[in-house]
Amino acid sequence: MSERQAVYDDVCRVLTDFEGNGSEEGATPADLYSVLVRVQNAWESIITADSDSAEMSESENPSAIEQPYDRGVLVSWLSDTGPYIHKAGGDCNVIVRVRKNADFDYLYIQRQYQGDGIKRNSNFKYAGVFCKQDGLIYDAQYEARNLFDDSRFQDMRSAETLHEQLKSAVRSSVEASIANDRDNLRIVELSSEQEIKSLDNFKGHHASDKARNTYLGNDEDYSDYEEDGVGYEFTFQCDYSPEPWTDDSLLAYILDPADYVSSEARKYIKEHQEHMLSEFLAGDMIAEEYEAIIKNPANPVHFVKRIMRAMALSSAKTVTVTIHKNDIDFTFKTEADPLRSDCKNYYSDYRIVAADRREFQKLFGRSAEYGPADIVRIEYARSVLYEKEIMKEEASQ
């Protein structure tokens, strides 16, 4: 029997006798004094004997699991673990490791600008997380980024980078599961008032703009359209965004990224069925608006697209523009940049050179403007960059 167990048994016996349950006379004050002396003499071995504590199970000594630490382990850690000291450019940086759990240590740094080593009255700053499984440092802070040979560790394993990696991985996982097919959802219609209201708002205020921007951004135009041919193709894109890191979530992700991503993807799919269906329905609305654009040759967006294409091929800062407006042909010089952007209504005459702007206002009025459909020709350095084409409906007349 260990010394710790023997003392423990003796204390229990005297306490029992003192209550009068273990003998006819019970324990005397002398008995109590004797056992206290024994505890005092054996105290050092009691609190430091790791091997002895291992002999006593948790069921034999329930209070053992409530101790904040085992002194033997603490003494061993203090004996075997020291700070890391890095000197550079006259500065002294001292890093210490603080155990978080079996897999991670937190790093803290004290920077000294004068003298060497750790100092008594100086603060430590959090510096990062050391993962014992792979030996890498994560979430490294500014104070520590230049202290290690791997100059890429800050960018590759910062908390911000890990957050973006998680977002990208979960989105890819969800998109792979849905496979751009609404039949892979568990629902076929919306029931959420919030999603229904949001979808109605999208139809009234955003669907047409989305269709327009998509049309301007691709290579096809109305002349490419054939029935059941060119059109808008919806691609489901997951909009998952992770919650900000907590200590537990960050460490869990570092320890097993694949499992964490899988768990988050399953959770997103389970909780966002209505939102994902609303994305498909919004895609239907964009497709409808897109088809309306392509089927209407008179829509001014076709002129805008061709003008933008032509101007994208030129580095000109000023161009010569000829317009046909109010049965009048008028040629003027203007800045080129406005012609490179989407024009939903009119180009401002403010960008026309001063002399030509005055003539423009004389012909069409001081508040007059010109639109994409008014432009018949754009020239630069004796080259024609753009010339208005006859629309299908005009050619058929």
Find residue 110's DSSP bridge partners: 94
**Rounded mean pLDDT, 40-64:** 51
The CA distance from 113 to 119, in Å, is 11
The confidence band for 181, taking pLDDT boundaries of 50, 70 and 90, is very high
pLDDT at 57: 45
* Torsions phi, psi for 241 (to 5 deg): -135, 125
**Rounded mean pLDDT, 214-243:** 81
- By CB atoms closer than 10 A (0-12, 13-18, 19+), residue 369 is middle
The confidence band for 41, taking pLDDT boundaries of 50, 70 and 90, is low
The confidence band for 97, taking pLDDT boundaries of 50, 70 and 90, is confident
3-state secondary structure of 176: helix
Q: Compute the residue count for the chain.
A: 397
Spatial contact of 225 and 294, defined as CB atoms under 8 Å apart: yes
Contacts of 211 (CB under 8 A, 6+ apart): 232, 286, 287, 289, 290, 292, 293
pLDDT at 164: 96
The confidence band for 195, taking pLDDT boundaries of 50, 70 and 90, is very high
341 vs 146, more confident: 341
pLDDT at 48: 57
Spatial contact of 140 and 154, defined as CB atoms under 8 Å apart: yes
The CA distance from 325 to 370, in Å, is 8
The confidence band for 238, taking pLDDT boundaries of 50, 70 and 90, is very high
**Rounded mean pLDDT, 336-357:** 94
Q: Within 13 A of 332's CA, how many CA atoms are on the CB side?
A: 23
Tell whether pTM > 0.85. no
The CA distance from 212 to 308, in Å, is 14
Q: What are the residue ranges of helices labelled H in the chain? A: 3-18, 29-48, 50-55, 71-80, 153-157, 159-178, 193-205, 207-217, 247-255, 257-271, 273-295, 301-312, 354-364, 392-395
pLDDT higher than 50, residue 56: no
pLDDT at 389: 80
> What is the gyration radius of the CA atoms in the chain, in angstroms?
39
Structure tokens at 135: 């030996």
Tokens 């080129």, residue?
336
Find residue 13's DSSP bridge partners: none
